């Protein structure tokens, strides 16, 4: 053990391991969910409750999302989706150390978002983390990808197998399976898309340093937090800086970074700058007789909900999921009737355009950064080209069938004419 510690010290030029006062982590699982088009949110909740699944959409959860969505992302797609709060659950290690990692159980909140018209659902697990280090947060993130088994206190409706310990992925799959079964929806576990957002407040051992400067000072640690790489100590500094160079910010207390399907939000809500910002916004609106929006007075408990990274990631996850459906090798729409295909193609393109539309230009820039890392822009072009190719092939096939039918009818006409002449 002494030898390992000495190696780490040599490799780590960032001598101080960061410790964060508050962190929030949200893990999103985007999956296929088909429900009757006439079912609305209230009936959806009622059906779940009848199956002994506790479901609701009430304050404070509903209010927090409503405030953020109305201010940051009032799009048509957002207005048509609905959310449901499901049973929370706790996880704990088999033998936690008294003063070590996860010494107390973690409570995970569960939110289901339903995009009814798109046949898509997002199951979000959100957890609040107090006073965890860089290494702690990285390991917790990896746990959501299947690392470690936990003792979990689950509602019996979600416990399909009589196991004492579960990976978090097994719990997620259990929730999704239960929801699909309730609504007789096809289960497609192999197509689930996993994305996540980690939001952290200021470092307890670097309180007065703004996010941008903190990232410059500890590039390897923030590389690890963004990518989930526990080997961050041994990453070349220039590689870490390269990954972190693409970021978004409009305030000195805020910085958002993105990598692949992961988002990291440094939102220093307890900094002096943040408090001054809120006070200034309120004073300006009062000075000019304007209403102070609730957005400037609320402090959400969900990772990335403040300033929009979570909302952007949700839409991007749906967009990425739909693109995967179109671009997968076995995807074949050519057997569809031409009228239904053209209608489906137009709906898909319209949906992709709606998911991309964001009114506030600053938020649009953040969205572009996140979607760029998820390869959405390039794949959207490829998907539209593929749909146009399918259309061309269908039209060619359709014309061939029409031409063949015309030939057949012509021959039949000739036969009938010949028969008529003979009968004369």
Please tell me whether residues 257 and 347 are part of one structural domain: no
CA dihedral 347, 352, 353, 356 (to 10 degrees): 160
Record the tokens describing residue 330, joined without a space: 């076995």
Q: Please say whether the beta carbons of 34 and 186 come within 8 A.
A: yes
Phi-psi category of residue 375: left, alpha or beta, with phi > 0 → left and psi -120 to 50 → alpha: left
pLDDT at 295: 87
Over residues 330-351, the mean pLDDT reads 55
Please tell me whether residues 54 and 131 are part of one structural domain: yes
- Distance, in Å, from the CA atom of 217 to the CA atom of 223, rounded to the nearest integer, reads 12
Please tell me whether residues 87 and 157 are part of one structural domain: yes
Give the rounded percent of residues in the chain with a pLDDT score beyond 90: 48
Q: Residue 367: inside a domain, yes or no?
A: yes
> Strand pairing partners for 123?
29, 112
Over residues 415-420, the mean pLDDT reads 59
Phi–psi pair at 13, nearest 5 degrees: -80, -15
Vertex 58: Cα angle to 57 and 59 (nearest 5): 140
- Is 410 or 247 the better-scoring residue by pLDDT? 247
Instruction: Please name the residue that has the structure tokens 């997620």.
Output: 172
* pLDDT category of residue 5 using cuts at 50, 70 and 90: very low
CA 384 to chain centroid, in Å, comes to 22
Record the tokens describing residue 316, joined without a space: 């991007």
Can you give the residue range of the structural domain that contains 343? 316-390
Q: Please say whether the beta carbons of 338 and 395 come within 8 A.
A: yes
Q: What is the mean pLDDT of the chain?
A: 83
Q: Please say whether the beta carbons of 308 and 250 come within 8 A.
A: no
Residue 1 CB neighbours (<10 A): 5
- Distance, in Å, from the CA atom of 345 to the CA atom of 322, rounded to the nearest integer, reads 12
pLDDT at 342: 46
Q: Residue 241: inside a domain, yes or no?
A: yes
Handedness of CA 244, 249, 253, 254 (dihedral sign): negative
> Going by C-beta distance under 8 Å and a sequence separation of 6 or more, which residues neighbour residue 12?
220, 233
> Strand pairing partners for 27?
125, 196
- Distance, in Å, from the CA atom of 198 to the CA atom of 115, rounded to the nearest integer, reads 23
Please tell me whether residues 76 and 211 are part of one structural domain: yes
Please tell me whether residues 347 and 263 are part of one structural domain: no
Report the range of poorest mean pLDDT among 254-258, 360-364, 390-394: 390-394
pLDDT at residue 211 tops 90: yes
Q: Residue 64: inside a domain, yes or no?
A: yes
Report the range of poorest mean pLDDT among 236-250, 308-322, 326-340, 368-382: 326-340
pLDDT at residue 239 tops 90: yes
* pLDDT category of residue 98 using cuts at 50, 70 and 90: low
* pLDDT category of residue 358 using cuts at 50, 70 and 90: confident
How does DSSP classify residue 73?
-
pLDDT at residue 37 tops 90: no
pLDDT at 408: 60
Please tell me whether residues 133 and 39 are part of one structural domain: yes
* pLDDT category of residue 31 using cuts at 50, 70 and 90: very high
What is the gyration radius of the CA atoms in the chain, in angstroms?
Answer: 27
Q: Residue 308: inside a domain, yes or no?
A: no
pLDDT at residue 218 tops 90: yes
Record the tokens describing residue 5, joined without a space: 């510690």
pLDDT tens, residue by residue, 38-56: 899 999 999 999 998 999 9
Please tell me whether residues 335 and 191 are part of one structural domain: no
pLDDT at residue 101 tops 80: no
pLDDT at residue 310 tops 90: yes
Q: Residue 237: inside a domain, yes or no?
A: yes
Vertex 232: Cα angle to 226 and 233 (nearest 5): 150
- Distance, in Å, from the CA atom of 276 to the CA atom of 312, rounded to the nearest integer, reads 26
pLDDT at 344: 58
Q: What is the pTM of this model?
A: 0.85
pLDDT at 365: 94
- Distance, in Å, from the CA atom of 130 to the CA atom of 19, rounded to the nearest integer, reads 9
- Distance, in Å, from the CA atom of 327 to the CA atom of 331, rounded to the nearest integer, reads 7
- Distance, in Å, from the CA atom of 195 to the CA atom of 139, rounded to the nearest integer, reads 16
- Kindly tell me the burial class for residue 83, based on how many C-beta atoms sit within 10 Å of its own C-beta (0-12, 13-18, 19 or more): middle
- Distance, in Å, from the CA atom of 126 to the CA atom of 129, rounded to the nearest integer, reads 10
pLDDT at 66: 93
pLDDT at 396: 47
Over residues 136-157, the mean pLDDT reads 85
Closest to 313 measured CA to CA, from 361, 376, 242: 376
pLDDT at 299: 86
Please tell me whether residues 185 and 88 are part of one structural domain: yes
Instruction: Report DSSP letters for 138-163, one per residue.
Output: HHHHHHHTT-S-EEEE--GGG--S--
Please tell me whether residues 261 and 364 are part of one structural domain: no
pLDDT at residue 4 tops 70: no
How does DSSP classify residue 97?
-
Residue 412 CB neighbours (<10 A): 10
Please tell me whether residues 238 and 114 are part of one structural domain: yes
Please tell me whether residues 231 and 346 are part of one structural domain: no
pLDDT at residue 271 tops 80: yes
> Going by C-beta distance under 8 Å and a sequence separation of 6 or more, which residues neighbour residue 117?
37, 80
Please tell me whether residues 21 and 125 are part of one structural domain: yes
pLDDT at 137: 94
pLDDT at 402: 55
> Going by C-beta distance under 8 Å and a sequence separation of 6 or more, which residues neighbour residue 397?
334
Residue 333 Cα distances to 33, 237, 320, 340, angstroms = 20, 47, 19, 10
Q: Based on the structure, what is the number of domains in the chain?
A: 2
pLDDT tens, residue by residue, 183-210: 999 888 889 999 999 999 877 767 788 9
Q: Residue 249: inside a domain, yes or no?
A: yes
> Strand pairing partners for 82?
114
pLDDT at residue 379 tops 80: yes
pLDDT at residue 397 tops 70: no
């Amino acid at each position: 053990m002494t030898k390992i510690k000495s190696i780490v010290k040599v490799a780590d030029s960032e001598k101080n391991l960061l410790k964060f006062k508050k962190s929030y982590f949200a893990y999103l699982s985007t999956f296929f969910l088909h429900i009757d088009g006439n079912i609305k949110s209230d009936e959806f909740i009622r059906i779940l409750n009848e199956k002994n699944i506790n479901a609701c959409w009430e304050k404070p959860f509903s209010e927090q999302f409503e405030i953020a969505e109305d201010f940051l992302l009032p799009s048509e797609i957002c207005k048509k989706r609905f959310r449901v709060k499901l049973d929370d659950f706790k996880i704990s290690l088999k033998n936690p150390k008294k003063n070590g990692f996860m010494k107390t159980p973690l409570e995970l909140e569960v939110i289901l978002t339903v995009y009814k018209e798109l046949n898509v659902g997002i199951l979000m697990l959100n957890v609040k983390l107090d006073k965890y280090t860089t290494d702690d947060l990285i390991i917790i993130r990896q746990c959501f990808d299947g690392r470690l088994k936990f003792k979990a206190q689950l509602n019996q409706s979600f416990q399909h197998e009589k196991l004492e310990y579960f990976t978090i992925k097994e719990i997620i799959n259990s929730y999704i399976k239960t929801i699909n079964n309730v609504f007789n929806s096809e289960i497609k576990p192999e197509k689930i898309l996993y994305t996540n957002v980690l939001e952290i407040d200021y470092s307890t051992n670097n309180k007065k340093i703004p996010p941008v400067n903190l990232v410059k000072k500890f590039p390897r640690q923030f590389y690890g937090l963004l990518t989930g790489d526990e080997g961050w100590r041994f990453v070349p500094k220039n590689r870490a800086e390269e990954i972190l160079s693409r970021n978004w910010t409009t305030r000195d207390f805020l910085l958002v970074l993105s990598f692949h399907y992961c988002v990291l939000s440094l939102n220093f809500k307890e900094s002096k700058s943040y408090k001054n910002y809120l006070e200034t916004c309120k004073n300006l609106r009062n000075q000019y007789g304007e209403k102070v929006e609730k957005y400037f007075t609320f402090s959400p408990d969900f990772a990335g909900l403040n300033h929009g990274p979570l909302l952007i990631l949700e839409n991007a996850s749906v967009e990425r999921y739909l693109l995967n459906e179109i671009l997968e090798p076995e995807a074949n729409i050519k057997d569809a009737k031409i009228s239904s295909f053209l209608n489906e193609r137009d709906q898909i393109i319209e949906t992709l355009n709606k998911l991309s539309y964001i009114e506030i230009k600053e938020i649009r820039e953040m969205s572009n950064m996140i979607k760029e890392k998820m390869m959405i822009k390039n794949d959207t072009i490829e998907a539209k080209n593929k749909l146009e190719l399918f259309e061309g092939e269908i039209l060619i096939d359709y014309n061939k069938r029409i031409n063949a039918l015309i030939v057949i009818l012509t021959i039949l006409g000739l036969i009938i004419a010949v028969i008529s002449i003979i009968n004369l």
